[in-house]
């Protein structure tokens, strides 16, 4: 009985964590073994990164969801800026104010975005996020103009960026273990992949590989989540209407089924509170 309880508790935990963990681990080991990919390989990773970013954004737009929204947009912006800074400043790009503020703002915005809560992709909150990003770039431009660099450097390591990343990783690791869902694990490993890309950005292979891996983890999670949600309700985990319609032809006629659709969970939450909403949902199920 004890073994069964342990298996029931930890097997789902491992399965949700396994895919992003394996993808990241294989990419990191491959890079450490050989960190100088051919030019053609770097170009492939480069265009795959952009392709997956655009595909993921189209998925968010089509289904009007914000799953991994900031990771997709944020990593896209960072990747373009880093390549631009490297072309402009050469080998000393990591000393520039733009690069150092970039690696600080990315984890800071990750924390702010996930504290902001989940919302529809096409909504006023998305506009708030875009306005915040534009404001930050304006502030950085002003700081660069006056040559103000708030970064604390130890060699090539930006201490403030490391602290912010550690805060995010520890928080999301705890959250991932508690909630045990693919969203949190894919967010965690994707953010770690971006951080690794920042660290190895002085090498073309490191930058293109790890930013591509971050987008790959996100894209896989989006596709699998949409496929899962087609057959199961995301909030309750119960079979969805689509699942019933597909399997209904094989049901014996003596069985009757009632389909109840609860769409406005926000209104239920405001009316009954979290505990009573959960009781109501369980009663219906």
Q: What is the chain's pLDDT, residue by residue, as a tens digit (285 residues)? A: 455 445 445 545 556 778 888 999 999 999 998 878 888 989 999 999 999 999 998 888 887 777 788 888 889 988 998 998 988 888 888 888 888 888 888 888 888 877 766 666 667 777 777 788 788 888 877 877 777 777 777 777 788 888 888 888 888 788 777 777 777 888 889 999 999 999 898 888 899 999 999 999 999 988 888 877 777 666 666 666 666 666 666 666 555 555 555 556 666 666 767 666 666 666 665
For residue 190, the model assigns a pLDDT of 92
Q: Of 187, 240, 247, which is closest to residue 214 (Cα–Cα)?
A: 187
Q: Where are the beta strands (DSSP E) in 68-191?
A: 153-154, 157-158
> What residues contact residue 194 under an 8 Å CB cut-off, 6+ apart?
71, 74, 75, 78, 106, 210, 211, 214
The distance of Cα 281 from the centroid of its chain, to the nearest Å, equals: 28
Q: Of 185, 169, 190, which is closest to residue 53 (Cα–Cα)?
A: 190
> What residues contact residue 39 under an 8 Å CB cut-off, 6+ apart?
none
Q: Of 257, 255, 253, 254, which is closest to residue 243 (Cα–Cα)?
A: 257
For residue 233, the model assigns a pLDDT of 65
Give the H or E element holding residue 115: helix 97-116
Q: Please give the model's pTM, rounded to 2 decimal places.
A: 0.77
How far are the Cα atoms of 69, 104, 167, 206, 242 from residue 155, in angstroms, in the given order?
A: 32, 16, 21, 19, 56
Helix axes 69-89, 97-116, angle to 10 degrees: 180
For residue 258, the model assigns a pLDDT of 57
Tokens 């309700």 belong to residue: 233
d(CA 229, CA 231): 5
d(CA 70, CA 113): 7
Q: Which residues pair with 101 in a beta bridge?
A: none
For residue 36, the model assigns a pLDDT of 82
For residue 246, the model assigns a pLDDT of 66
Burial class (CB in 10 A: 0-12, 13-18, 19+), 119: middle
Q: Which tokens sit at 101?
A: 């503020």
Length of the chain: 285
DSSP of 35-80: ----HHHHHHHHHHHHHHHHHHHHHHHHHT--TTHHHHHHHHHHHH
């Amino acid at each position: 009985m004890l073994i069964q309880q342990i298996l029931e508790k930890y097997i789902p935990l491992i399965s949700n964590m396994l895919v992003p963990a394996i993808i990241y681990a294989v990419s990191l080991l491959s890079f450490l073994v050989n960190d100088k990919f051919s030019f053609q390989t770097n170009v492939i990773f480069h265009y795959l990164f952009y392709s997956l970013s655009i595909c993921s954004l189209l998925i968010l737009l089509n289904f009007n969801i914000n799953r991994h929204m900031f990771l997709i947009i944020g990593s896209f912006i960072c990747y373009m800026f880093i390549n631009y800074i490297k072309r402009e400043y050469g080998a000393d790009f990591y000393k520039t104010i733009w690069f150092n503020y970039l690696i600080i703002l990315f984890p800071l915005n990750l924390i702010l975005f996930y504290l902001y809560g989940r919302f529809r992709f096409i909504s006023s909150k998305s506009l708030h996020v875009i306005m915040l990003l534009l404001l930050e770039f304006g502030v950085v431009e002003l700081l660069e103009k006056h040559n103000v660099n708030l970064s604390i450097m130890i060699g090539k390591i930006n201490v403030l960026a490391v602290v912010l990343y550690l805060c995010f990783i520890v928080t999301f690791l705890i959250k991932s273990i508690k909630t045990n869902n693919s969203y949190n694990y894919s967010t965690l490993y994707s953010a770690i992949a971006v951080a690794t890309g920042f660290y190895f950005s002085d090498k073309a292979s490191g930058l293109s590989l790890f930013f591509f891996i971050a987008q790959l983890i996100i894209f896989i999670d989006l596709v699998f989540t949409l496929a899962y949600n087609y057959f199961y309700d995301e909030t309750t985990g119960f079979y969805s209407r689509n699942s019933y319609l597909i399997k209904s032809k094989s049901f014996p006629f003596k069985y009757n089924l009632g389909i109840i659709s609860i769409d406005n969970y926000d209104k239920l939450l405001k009316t009954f509170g979290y505990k009573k909403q959960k009781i109501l949902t369980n009663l219906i199920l």
